[in-house]
């Protein structure tokens, strides 16, 4: 099969490319390299274009037929989305519309969209199901929800099928240690904890406050390993023609960990003490965000495999390897 992966030079996208190649599929990557890394794209074509450019998309699609598209390309820093919401609208919503319009023109009818648990907002106290209220609390979340709604409308064309995957807190690195989290700035918790252990000059700051209605006052999140995320995408693409034209699935581990519990897990894995300080509370930070994953389990063979502890170990391996390069 020939697959197109947008954002394939980024964190999750590069893991998707690696998985597809492991299954002997041909992969083409579209990435503008604004946050992606060219060196992560190996043994496949990299097309350096921006999805906001309709003409560039069309030129790329006119050269080769694709059996399906995995769409990861997006702006994804919540804090930045408050500062520059128009940028997020143009990139995440308009860019996605541009892509779908062009792939439909070329009769590419299987589409996997990288959505986010941010569409649910912050008013949830129980495990979150796909049919729960949608009330995003950030411009980033709003762009993901608007894109989902647009994709649903595109799927009214009987030939076009799509899945939106709402994943929770992506974490971890590839077992090879060759690819992992390398965001600038790094906003994810686990790599920042690991950095505080490896770099004595780096002081870990905990956002979200310590006065939340949780077991220790810190936010609870569902940390799902990046390999489990891309495996869900792969399973979804395999099943897409046996499902309704449009589907939404949560991707998570189905388990919640507070920030302090994650720090404790890192300390156990590394046998080192983590030094941290609380910083300001972030705007509209939900105290509890954990996935109910029963729907995706029922519709596919998805089963989260990589534990938080194993994910921490892989992150350490990736950081140690990267430091030696």
> Dihedral of CA 303/307/311/317: which sign?
negative
Determine contact, residues 164/92, Cβ cutoff 8 Å.
no
Determine contact, residues 229/176, Cβ cutoff 8 Å.
no
For residue 68, give Cα distances in angstroms to 63, 91, 109, 145, 238: 15, 21, 7, 22, 10
How far apart, in whole angstroms, are the C-alpha atoms of residue 314 and residue 172? 6
Q: What is the CA radius of gyration of the chain?
A: 19
- From 140, 167, 246, 302, active-site residue: 140
Using DSSP, state whether 298 is helix, strand or coil: helix
User: Of 222, 249, 226, whose CA–CA distance to 237 is shortest?
Assistant: 249
Q: Is 257 a catalytic residue?
A: no
Catalytic residues: 140
């Amino acid at each position: 099969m020939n697959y197109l992966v947008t954002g394939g030079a980024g964190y999750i996208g590069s893991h998707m490319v690696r998985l597809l190649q492991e299954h002997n599929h041909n992969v083409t990557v579209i990435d503008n390299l604004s946050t992606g890394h060219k060196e992560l794209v190996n043994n496949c074509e990299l097309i350096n274009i921006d999805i906001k450019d309709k003409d560039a998309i069309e030129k790329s699609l006119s050269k080769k037929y694709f059996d399906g598209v995995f769409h990861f390309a997006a702006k994804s820093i919540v804090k930045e989305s408050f500062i520059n919401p128009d940028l997020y609208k143009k990139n995440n919503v308009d860019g996605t519309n541009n892509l779908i319009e062009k792939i439909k023109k070329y009769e590419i009818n299987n589409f996997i969209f990288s959505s986010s648990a941010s569409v649910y907002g912050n008013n949830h106290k129980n495990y979150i199901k796909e049919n729960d209220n949608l009330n995003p609390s950030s411009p980033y979340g709003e762009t993901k929800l608007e894109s989902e709604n647009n994709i649903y409308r595109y799927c009214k064309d009987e030939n076009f099928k799509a899945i939106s995957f709402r994943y929770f807190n992506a974490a971890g690195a590839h077992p090879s240690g060759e690819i992992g989290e390398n965001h600038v700035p790094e906003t994810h918790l686990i790599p920042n904890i690991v950095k505080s252990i490896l770099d004595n000059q780096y002081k870990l700051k905990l956002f979200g406050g310590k006065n939340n209605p949780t077991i220790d006052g810190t936010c609870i999140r569902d940390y799902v390993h990046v390999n489990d995320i891309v495996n869900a995408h792969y399973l979804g693409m395999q099943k897409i023609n046996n499902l309704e034209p449009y589907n939404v699935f949560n991707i998570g581990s189905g388990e919640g960990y507070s920030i302090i519990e994650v720090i404790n897990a890192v300390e156990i894995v590394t046998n080192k003490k983590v030094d941290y300080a609380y910083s300001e509370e972030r705007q509209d930070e939900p105290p509890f965000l954990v996935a109910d994953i029963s729907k995706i389990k029922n519709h596919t063979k998805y089963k989260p495999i990589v534990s938080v502890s194993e994910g921490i170990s892989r992150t350490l391996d990736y950081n140690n390897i990267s430091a030696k390069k």
